[in-house]
A and B are shown apart, each in its own frame.
Chain A
Amino acid sequence: MAVTTVAGVGDVSLARRGHDVKGRLFHLLVVLSVVLAFVILAALVWDMIAGGESVLTERLWSFLTSGLNSDPELAGVWQGVKGTLQLSIIVVAVAFPLGIGSAIYIEEYASDSRLTRFISVNIRNLAGVPSIVFGLLGLAIFVQALGGVTGGRTVIAGGLTLSALVLPIVIITSQEALRAVPSGIRVGALALGATRWETTRHHVLPAALPGILTGNVLALARAAGEAAPLLLVGAVSGVFFVGAQGTLEQILHGRFTAMPMVIFSWARLPAGQGWNVLAAAASLVLLVLIFVMNGFAIWLRNRYEQRW
């Protein structure tokens, strides 16, 4: 039996035709994009580490546990961390249930009418509104109009403003998680004589929950990193001393700040007194906080994700 070479069996040629220049160029381009993006990110992180290193190595604990202070040697981020956690709790309590509820209504209950589509499109538009605009909204509504309830420039007003900011994102990601549940699950349950509520409660929601939580935690991370809206609703950016801040009343109606605000207020102080070192160190703390949140979201997704 004759061994045939790949190229040239009669008229059939299977040999490579020249070089795929465009293909290779494109390949190179996309690899370069990734490298560039990664280099920029690494440079940012490195800049923060290099800038804040002295504080983090010399007095990490006191930096984390001290309050704001006019002396850069003594100042710390504790109030910022605390404020960010308080704001996060409000966002979890307000934006998550409202957003998940809205998503369930739109996906599982609402009829596919023109109004529903109009609302859906506008939720998507809202997700693209700059955060400073939500700050103005928070100022007008939560600080001024509802000042009697929120107490004015308080952590409640800040938390509600951040909730409004991430609500569209929470709705959209929850909607997508619900939509990923195959319709066979729904019709299967309904065909057994389950009501819409029983179908949603026992099958659709549990199946969508990992995706919903993942999206919501990412939205929370976004809220934790925002400074602009808080600036408008009156988070403190200078030095402030609060009393014991022990009672709930003091926490809810006292003055508040958050990590991004702390970074912002330190970064704009004149250079040369060590404030920029503190700002870099505080940025790292915020970054770690957000990485932890995102890591939790990824863990949730990997742990519970349902593959169909």
Chain B
Amino acid sequence: MVMRLSPDPSITTAALPARRQVNFGMMHPETRTKPEGGAPPSADEVIFDVVDLSVRYGGFTAVRDVALQINRRQITAMIGPSGCGKSTVLRCFNRMNDLIEIARVDGRILFHGVDLYDPAVDPVEVRRRIGMVFQKPNPFPKSIYDNVAFGPKVAGTRDKAELDDIVEQSLQKAALWDEVKDRIDDNAYGLSGGQQQRLCIARALAVDPEVLLMDEPCSALDPIATARIEDLMQQIKDEYTIVIVTHNMQQAARVSDRTAFFVTEVNEESDRRTGVLVEYDHTDVIFSNPSDERTEQYVTGRFG
């Protein structure tokens, strides 16, 4: 497959390393040293390093001064009350904020040491490496097969047998294959909400991303469908790094390894609300022994 990491072909190296090794074609001073040779990277390898991230929409600052590191092959949850900027931060990880014209991102997000907002980085390639699942299931109005095959197709896979294989594997990873294998050519709109969301996960996995961003993926689902998605997250976390935004604190406590807690600061003069990161730690610490009083109040249900 041809890598299109940057719009400038001259800086895309001809011999790119393996799929999992990210190389945006330029050496960044912050590039983290990765194990050379065959030694597998440690589980705690940092995949995202967020440095002083602020996002403004026009004159309004949605979230400011976020600094956190997200570890590879872990589930990181971002929690906090409405308007605290957690979804905004999530959308920076695959540059979906680019689609909002007035959004301005300051600071840096290093993905394997490469700044995602460097002008030489192509957002299309970023999104191939960093998949996303949305709040409301949004399958394409096409067959189940076409939903899953679309990503690999635009990424350059043309071979029918190979596509069939990717579709089956992706649906299996998303724990949907057994339910849909006999009606793979039926329209995806015939599936239930929970099945549609798992289809969206399968669709995201089909392009073999390294990271899966999930923006409140269960908020439109019933508890049983939610439990299935949570099980699924546990099953795939050996292979994927997952960042999940959730309103549901129990969900964060159940599924995540680390939790980032955001709050909304209200500017007394302008009544503008800006999200800030309060605390980021291992999930059990956040829920049992948080160091910030606001975190404690939130996780015990006293505000938010």
Contact (Cβ within 8 A) A203 B124: no
At the interface, yes or no: A182 with Cβ under 8 Å from chain B? Answer: yes
Hey, which chain B residues are within 8 Å of A193, CB to CB? 124-125, 127-129, 151, 154-155, 207
What would be 24 A-B contacts, judged by CB atoms less than 8 Å apart? A184-B134, A184-B136, A187-B96, A187-B134, A187-B138, A188-B134, A188-B203, A189-B140, A191-B94, A191-B127, A192-B128, A192-B131, A192-B154, A192-B203, A192-B207, A193-B125, A193-B127, A193-B129, A193-B207, A195-B124, A195-B154, A202-B150, A203-B140, A207-B141
Which residues of A from 158 to 216 have beta carbons under 8 Å from B? 182, 184-185, 187-195, 198, 202-203, 207
At the interface, yes or no: B200 with Cβ under 8 Å from chain A? Answer: yes
At the interface, yes or no: B293 with Cβ under 8 Å from chain A? Answer: no
Hey, which chain B residues are within 8 Å of A191, CB to CB? 94, 96, 127, 131-132, 134, 204
Contact (Cβ within 8 A) A188 B138: yes
Contact (Cβ within 8 A) B127 A192: yes
Contact (Cβ within 8 A) A194 B124: yes
Interface residue tally on A, bucketed by range: 10 to 19
Q: Indicate the member of B96, B127, B128, B155 with the most A CB atoms within 10 Å.
A: B127
At the interface, yes or no: B99 with Cβ under 8 Å from chain A? Answer: yes
At the interface, yes or no: A249 with Cβ under 8 Å from chain B? Answer: no
Q: Indicate the member of A189, A192, A306 with the most B CB atoms within 10 Å.
A: A192
Contact (Cβ within 8 A) A112 B151: no
Q: Which of B96, B125, B136 contacts A190 (CB 8 A)?
A: B96
At the interface, yes or no: B178 with Cβ under 8 Å from chain A? Answer: no
Hey, which chain A residues are within 8 Å of B222, CB to CB? none
Q: Which DSSP category, helix, strand, loop or mixed, fits chain A's interface?
A: helix
**B contacts, CB < 8 Å to A:** 94, 96, 99, 101, 124-125, 127-129, 131-132, 134, 136, 138-141, 150-151, 154-155, 200, 203-204, 207
Expressed in whole angstroms, the Cα–Cα distance for A184 and B141 within the complex equals 11
A168: shortest Cβ distance to chain B, in Å?
26
Expressed in whole angstroms, the Cα–Cα distance for A202 and B146 within the complex equals 10
Hey, which chain A residues are within 8 Å of B138, CB to CB? 182, 184-185, 187-188
Contact (Cβ within 8 A) B150 A112: no
Hey, which chain A residues are within 8 Å of B203, CB to CB? 188, 192
Closest to B187 in A: A306
At the interface, yes or no: A250 with Cβ under 8 Å from chain B? Answer: no
Hey, which chain A residues are within 8 Å of B101, CB to CB? 111-112
Contact A194/B96 with A185-B141, A187-B138 known, Cβ cut-off 8 Å: no
Contact (Cβ within 8 A) B141 A189: no
Expressed in whole angstroms, the Cα–Cα distance for A193 and B128 within the complex equals 4
Expressed in whole angstroms, the Cα–Cα distance for A207 and B134 within the complex equals 20
Contact (Cβ within 8 A) A188 B124: no
Expressed in whole angstroms, the Cα–Cα distance for A153 and B96 within the complex equals 53
Expressed in whole angstroms, the Cα–Cα distance for A182 and B99 within the complex equals 15
Contact (Cβ within 8 A) A198 B154: yes
Expressed in whole angstroms, the Cα–Cα distance for A189 and B148 within the complex equals 11
Expressed in whole angstroms, the Cα–Cα distance for A306 and B142 within the complex equals 11
Hey, which chain A residues are within 8 Å of B125, CB to CB? 193
Closest to A308 in B: B141
Contact (Cβ within 8 A) B99 A190: yes
Expressed in whole angstroms, the Cα–Cα distance for A187 and B141 within the complex equals 14
Contact (Cβ within 8 A) A187 B99: yes
Expressed in whole angstroms, the Cα–Cα distance for A189 and B125 within the complex equals 13
A176: shortest Cβ distance to chain B, in Å?
18
Expressed in whole angstroms, the Cα–Cα distance for A202 and B151 within the complex equals 11
Closest to B146 in A: A202
Closest to A198 in B: B154
Expressed in whole angstroms, the Cα–Cα distance for A203 and B131 within the complex equals 18
